[in-house]
Amino acid sequence: MTPPRPAPLRPALRDAAMRWIADDPDPATRAELQQVLAAAMADSDGSADELADRMAGMLRFGTAGLRGPVRAGPAGMNVAVVRRATAGLAAWLARDGVRGTVVVGRDARHGSEAFAAAAAEVLAGAGFTVRTLPSPLPTPVLAFAVRELGAVAGVQITASHNPPADNGYKVYLADGAQLAPPSDAEIEAAIGAAPAAVSIPTGGAIQTADVTDAYLERVGRMPRGAARQLRVALTPMHGVGGATAVHALHRAGFTDVHVVPSQAAPDPDFPTVSFPNPEEPGATDALLALAAEVDADLAVALDPDADRCALAVPGRDGWRMLTGDETGVLLGDHLLRSGGYDDPLVATTVVSSSMLASVAEAYGARYAETLTGFKWIVRGGPGLVFGYEEALGYCVDPDAVRDKDGIAAAVLACDLAAGLKDAGRGLPDRLDELAVAHGVYRTEGVSLRMEPAARDAAVERLRSAPPEGWTAERPAPDVLVLRREGERLVIRPSGTEPKLKAYLQVVEPVPDADGLAAARTAAGTRLDRMRDEVHTLLRSKEGA
């Protein structure tokens, strides 16, 4: 049977591609798109589909800025897209006629150097004072620089822990925090009104600003205890956090640090991991092997831009990665236990463990539960001293970095671990203490692939008619929270994929230390039962 011929190139698509090529200031991406267009015009298999994908529209500008594959065309990360995004940002920042300093940083991904230069040139051409960081540096350093330099905004070129083919464009405002609505929509509208990339003015003085030492000095002062005897295994996962993290740990007094050799230097291809995210299976295998080899006390994995941090601890059955919730509660408890705050606030998200609320109450601290994302966590209220989300993000020094900071979190974790080691104990022992005091909290995430229409219909049916025994809350239009005694279920659609995400939590009381093992077993059984129930519930709604 003769296979069907590919769809012919539509004239409108051809014309749009030709206009984009004419307006692209980068000869490399002009040539790249010309090749794709030529193949589509020659009716090569799939070439018209590839061209349509590249021309499907501009990358959407959200609260995380831009993120997408490095490639030519409006639906990719390239110099033309970065110029137009920066022109829109500049217009939005100058809407009241005031211009100030903007800081530009970058990671070491493919295209980052060119994209950072393009952003800096457009901002300078728009009349802003532009300060660029001197080399590829962690995202928390850029967030720190915004407040340290009194800037009106910061731009970091990074795709965090996305696959190697991606890059991104992240914006911080003058308060040092990520964008929050409606700023993202306003900037996106300004980008839409920007002229063609080739017509956007560039030029002006650009200065280098190195705040790394100031950042390291701040992070080095974070430890609360005096103990420093700790052996640490660390990986920056081919990202830009390695040298900065080692320097920060040394400043804080932790000098026995062993870095995974094959992952120590920045490498945009991330050759030793299939996906450069500490949460992914296998991503920390090299770290755990090194930790066992050197007999480490604590293992630390940073993601490629070092704003996230994962911890692993040794145990009777070998090394174990802590969950984001376990680390979040450990760090929050450590900060509150150390004291020195006046009416402190701690915050986490509606999908993270609510154990932090119980910990806060024990110390007389305030607690806030926000929507997902650090744009909300750091705006949880006055007096914030700590915030975290279950996806390995920890804000441990909000006065310096109003975002997640994997390096500062690593320093604080080492401080906690060293103090416990000095007392002949470890992080698992502290987790046991917290469970006895507050109960066993078990959390788990479940993703179900569902098309948007079925997904949204399922959520609406659950909201309007909750299952028997559950009460429903809707803290945001796309978030549904179901609760019953000792259990919580949060449901929200994925923002990037046709998936419905469910976040499960069970809480099992612990009568005393002798009953901890039984409570953990009971919590695990309840979580298994709840997982099965959720699958049945959501699948039945999907097919309703």
Domain that holds residue 295: 214-318
Q: Which of 36, 56, 76 is the last residue of a domain?
A: 56
Q: Render each residue's pLDDT in the chain as its tens digit; 544 residues.
A: 454 555 578 899 999 999 999 999 999 999 999 999 999 988 766 788 999 999 998 999 887 799 999 999 999 999 999 999 999 999 999 998 889 999 999 999 999 999 999 999 999 999 999 999 999 999 999 999 999 999 999 999 999 999 999 999 999 999 999 999 999 999 999 999 999 999 999 988 999 999 999 999 999 999 999 999 999 999 999 999 999 999 999 999 999 999 999 999 999 999 999 999 999 999 999 999 999 999 999 999 999 999 999 999 998 889 999 999 999 999 999 999 999 999 999 999 999 999 999 999 999 999 999 999 999 999 999 999 999 999 999 999 999 999 999 999 999 999 999 999 999 999 999 999 999 999 999 999 988 888 888 888 888 888 888 888 999 999 988 899 999 999 999 998 876 678 889 999 999 999 999 999 999 999 999 999 999 998 888 865 443 3
What pairing do the DSSP bridges indicate for beta strands 318-321 and 309-315? antiparallel
**417 shares a domain with 333:** yes
**25 shares a domain with 122:** no
**356 shares a domain with 415:** yes
Helix (H, G, I), strand (E, B) or coil at 58: coil
Task: List residues with catalytic annotation.
Answer: 160
**332 shares a domain with 406:** yes
**274 shares a domain with 252:** yes
Count Cα neighbours of 238 within 13 Å in the Cβ-side half-sphere.
Answer: 23
CA distance 406 to 377: 16
**199 shares a domain with 144:** yes
Asked whether 287 and 235 are in contact (CB, 8 A), the reply is yes
Q: Which of 318, 339, 366 is the last residue of a domain?
A: 318
Give pLDDT tens digits for 313-345. 998 889 999 999 999 999 999 999 999 999 999
**295 shares a domain with 228:** yes
**109 shares a domain with 35:** no
List the one residue out of 115, 79, 86 whose CA is nearest residue 102: 86
CA distance 324 to 332: 12
**522 shares a domain with 480:** yes
Strand partners, 450: none
**231 shares a domain with 152:** no
**369 shares a domain with 452:** no
CA distance 536 to 350: 23
CA distance 100 to 126: 11
Give pLDDT tens digits for 205-263. 999 999 999 999 999 999 999 999 999 999 999 999 999 999 999 999 999 999 999 99
> Which region holds residue 381: left if phi is over 0, alpha if psi is between -120 and 50, else beta?
left
CA distance 126 to 123: 5
Asked whether 246 and 259 are in contact (CB, 8 A), the reply is yes
**DSSP classification of residue 270:** -
Q: What length is written for the chain? A: 544
Q: Which of 289, 318, 347 is the last residue of a domain?
A: 318
Query: What CATH number is given to the structural domain containing 141?
Result: 3.40.120.10
* Alpha carbon 211 to chain centroid, angstroms: 22
Indicate the number of domains in the chain: 5
Question: Using CA atoms in the order 123, 129, 130, 134, what is the torsion angle rounded to 10 degrees?
Answer: 170
**485 shares a domain with 353:** no
pTM of the model: 0.94
Q: What is the largest CA-CA distance in the chain?
A: 77
